[in-house]
């Protein structure tokens, strides 16, 4: 199981992909679609992703995903310059046990990373 959202690397995220119509074609999305040329690198990316999803061995799965990222190295289509998006949160001084340094990851629904069951309300 891949524990992160690969959509940015696959071109299937609709809010800023580098190949929106190709990604829609691959995902069979209800938006404008275009089949990529047979020799386009995105086809290699999708082939690798299809293999990643069914690979039972974690080490082999990780190696396949690294190979997928290698396609982007050979033919850069996504340039990551800042890592995960910044998602500042403002909390009252009465809201306790908030911890800095967590990422915003829609796949895991953000709050699942930070143990909200450990929050508490106290006096400000």
Buried b / exposed e over 3-17, threshold 16 CB at 10 Å, is eeebbbbbbbbeeeb
Total domains, the chain = 2
Domain membership of residue 38 (yes or no) is yes
Domain membership of residue 22 (yes or no) is yes
**Same domain as 56, residue 100:** no
Q: Which domain holds residue 63?
A: 7-74
Q: Which of 32, 52, 74 is the last residue of a domain?
A: 74
Q: What is the pLDDT along the chain (124 residues), one digit of tens a residue?
A: 566 778 888 988 877 668 889 999 999 989 999 999 999 999 999 999 999 999 999 999 999 999 999 998 898 886 666 666 666 777 788 988 877 776 666 655 555 566 777 888 988 6
pLDDT at 14: 75
**Same domain as 46, residue 89:** no
**Same domain as 98, residue 64:** no
**Same domain as 70, residue 35:** yes
**Same domain as 124, residue 103:** yes
Query: In a 10 Å sphere around its CB, with 0-12 CB exposed, 13-18 middle and 19+ buried, how is residue 79 labelled?
Result: exposed
């Amino acid at each position: 199981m891949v524990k992160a959202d690969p959509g940015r690397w696959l071109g299937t995220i609709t809010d800023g992909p580098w190949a929106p119509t190709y990604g829609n074609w691959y995902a069979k999305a209800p938006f404008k679609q275009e089949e990529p040329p047979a020799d386009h690198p995105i086809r290699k990316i999708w082939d690798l992703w299809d293999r990643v999803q069914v690979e039972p061995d974690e080490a082999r799965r990780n190696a396949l995903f690294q190979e997928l990222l290698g396609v982007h190295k050979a033919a850069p289509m996504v340039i990551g310059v800042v890592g995960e998006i910044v998602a500042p949160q403002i909390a009252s001084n009465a809201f306790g046990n908030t911890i800095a340094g967590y990422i915003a990851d829609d796949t895991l629904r953000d709050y699942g990373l930070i143990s909200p069951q450990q929050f508490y309300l106290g006096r400000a």
